[in-house]
Amino acid sequence: MKEIICITCPRGCHLTVDEVSKKVSGNSCPKGEAYGLCEVFDPKRVITSTVVLLGSDLKRLPVRTDKPISKKLMFDVMKELDKIQVKSPVKCGDIIMKNILGTDVNIISSRDL
């Protein structure tokens, strides 16, 4: 059994997730059940980082994933980001790398530069 606090809404339900039966209790809505199962069995996060920026006074461009990605892939994503060099100008929301590691997740710019 794992105990976590749901963060999908301001209510902050205290969830208990049974890892054997894959059942969630303590949730006040269906979002809590989905969150609890995802957080225990395949947690995901939005990754924020920087990549090399060429042609600007600033040397790094802030970037992030456009949707959450499995925590298991975080270090592999960071290795891929180390290889990227972007030329200025860049607009916030521009896709810097499509479909990173075949995950259907894009790396996007977090700032106009």
- pLDDT digits 0-9 by tens, 3-22: 999 999 999 999 999 999 99
pLDDT at 97: 97
Count of residues making up the chain:
113
Instruction: For residue 102, give the CATH number of its domain.
Output: 3.10.530.10
Sign of the torsion angle spanned by Cα atoms 51, 54, 55, 56: positive
Distance, in Å, from the CA atom of 52 to the CA atom of 90, rounded to the nearest integer, reads 12
pLDDT at 77: 97
pLDDT at 10: 92
In this structure, the answer to whether residues 54 and 31 fall within a common structural domain is no
Segment 26-65, tens digit of pLDDT: 999 999 999 999 999 999 999 999 999 999 999 999 999 9
pLDDT at 98: 97
In this structure, the answer to whether residues 8 and 62 fall within a common structural domain is no
Which domain, by its residues, includes 103?
45-109
In this structure, the answer to whether residues 99 and 53 fall within a common structural domain is yes
pLDDT at 79: 97
Q: If you average pLDDT over residues 61-88, what whole number do you get?
A: 96
Q: Per the structure, how many domains does the chain have?
A: 2
In this structure, the answer to whether residues 53 and 90 fall within a common structural domain is yes
Listing DSSP states for the chain in one string gives -EEEE--SSTT--EEEEETTTTEEES-SSHHHHHHHHHHHHS-EE--EEEEEEESSSSSEEEEEESS-EEGGGHHHHHHHHHT-EEESP--TT-EEESSGGGSS--EEESS--
